[in-house]
Amino acid sequence: MIGDARAFWLRAPGEGELRPVELAPPGPDEVLVRTLFSGVSRGTETLVFTGKVPADQYAAMRAPFQEGDFPAPVKYGYLNVGVVARGPEGLRGRTVFCLYPHQSAYVVPADAVLVVPEDVPASRAVLAGTVETAVNALWDAAPLVGDRVSVIGAGMVGCCVAALLARFPGVRVELVDADPAKAAVAAALGVDFARPADATGGRDLVVHASATAEGLQRGLDLLRPEGTVLELSWYGDRPVTLALGGAFHSRRLRIRSSQVGTVSPRRADRSYRDRLALALELLADPVFDALLSGPSRFDELPDVLARLAAGELPALCHLITYPEE
């Protein structure tokens, strides 16, 4: 063994703790990573923290390096940035991103990490997994030059989608959220903002990420004839009810799902690694710093997740820092 690390575990729904981990030396094709930062993806991780992952989705929700099983005990997370302490010569000392849970150090196959570009700060790089989701969504949606697009739900995923859409030539983006405080985030991302009741209609595309039935219904209401809602929300175990007896059929509207677990068929020639590498490149834009909150220390994480789940701590992606151990 090469020493101890600590990992965050969900002991029971609503109860987190830090546990010691013994690390074995890395093999010839492995790396030892010392974590610098991890990110709490508020929507998904509070769903896990509160034990609300549906039983029939346990396999689909499993993270790449998850240990344990839903609902608990489970070690879960997927936004981790650290420095390679041991491993192949080309990786030693490099800052890397890995889809790894909240843990102070870990050993993984060398091909499970991607080097963070030099123009991307390590703290911002924790967003790579979420920007990857946004990239896949836009591959699915395939917006055109000049499209009028609404993004409903100014959470972590919705904001990443809006930030990328703002780069498309001639695309007019409106970020829609019930919380008026999200107007400041929209301004930082360079897009318009509206409350749901004031949102602009006649949209070519709506990307829905609010995880509410009301948000999805509003997305349908905002579409022009033949328009599409791209559904990114994860509802957990909650049923969704929509009013489809009115204009849904006469206006030939569409609802299409998108999920990061599969690379968009529109980019079948790209691998998961290609997609994640692209997300890291896109994070050179400092506009993404508007999505980070915190930081909090690693030993505060059990309390941080409890506060996030209770709605006491506003955040999109909450940054966790790791002291040297």
Per-residue model confidence as pLDDT tens digits over 236-267: 777 899 999 888 999 999 999 998 888 999 99
Shared domain for 48 and 166, answered yes or no, is no
Residue type, 61: M
Summarised one tens digit per residue, pLDDT across range 46-91 is: 989 999 898 988 998 899 999 999 999 999 999 999 999 999 999 9
Shared domain for 24 and 84, answered yes or no, is yes
Residue 215 CB: number of other CB atoms within 10 A?
22
Give CA angle at 279 (78, 185), nearest 5°. Answer: 85
Residue 57 within any structural domain of the chain: yes
Residue 55 within any structural domain of the chain: yes
Shared domain for 262 and 154, answered yes or no, is yes
Summarised one tens digit per residue, pLDDT across range 182-237 is: 999 999 999 999 999 999 999 999 999 999 999 999 999 999 999 999 999 987 77
Residue 110 within any structural domain of the chain: yes
Cβ atoms 294, 320 nearer than 8 A: yes
Shared domain for 115 and 134, answered yes or no, is no
Cα(258)–Cα(141) distance, integer angstroms:
9
CATH number at residue 59: 3.90.180.10
DSSP-derived letter for residue 103 is B
Residue 225 CB: number of other CB atoms within 10 A?
10
Q: Choose among 207, 204, 242: nearest CA to 223.
A: 204
Per the structure, how many domains does the chain have?
A: 2
Shared domain for 139 and 110, answered yes or no, is no
Shared domain for 291 and 257, answered yes or no, is no
Cα(291)–Cα(127) distance, integer angstroms:
9
Residue 85 within any structural domain of the chain: yes
Model pLDDT, residue 239: 87
Model pLDDT, residue 42: 85
Cα(36)–Cα(124) distance, integer angstroms:
11
Q: Choose among 265, 276, 291, 231: nearest CA to 78.
A: 276
Model pLDDT, residue 43: 82
Give me the count of residues in the chain.
Answer: 325
Which residues lie across from 39 on neighbouring strands? 319
Cα(128)–Cα(158) distance, integer angstroms:
14
Summarised one tens digit per residue, pLDDT across range 103-120 is: 999 999 999 999 999 999
Shared domain for 29 and 137, answered yes or no, is no
Range of the domain at 202: 130-267
Shared domain for 28 and 84, answered yes or no, is yes
Residue 272 within any structural domain of the chain: no
Query: What Å distances lie between residue 81 and 76, 110, 134, 231, CA to CA?
Result: 15, 14, 19, 29
Map residue 279 onto helix, strand or coil: helix
Residue 1 pLDDT > 60: no
Band of pLDDT at residue 325, cut at 50, 70 and 90: low
Residue 278 within any structural domain of the chain: no
Cα(25)–Cα(27) distance, integer angstroms:
6
Shared domain for 141 and 243, answered yes or no, is yes
Shared domain for 134 and 218, answered yes or no, is yes
Residue 160 within any structural domain of the chain: yes
Mean pLDDT across 125-131: 97
Residue 279 within any structural domain of the chain: no
Query: 230-242 burial, b for 16+ CB within 10 Å, e for fewer?
Result: bbbbbbbeeeeee
Shared domain for 103 and 154, answered yes or no, is no
Shared domain for 151 and 260, answered yes or no, is yes
Token pair for 202: 């006649």
Summarised one tens digit per residue, pLDDT across range 267-281 is: 989 999 999 999 999
Mean pLDDT across 154-158: 94
CATH number at residue 239: 3.40.50.720
Mean pLDDT across 139-151: 97
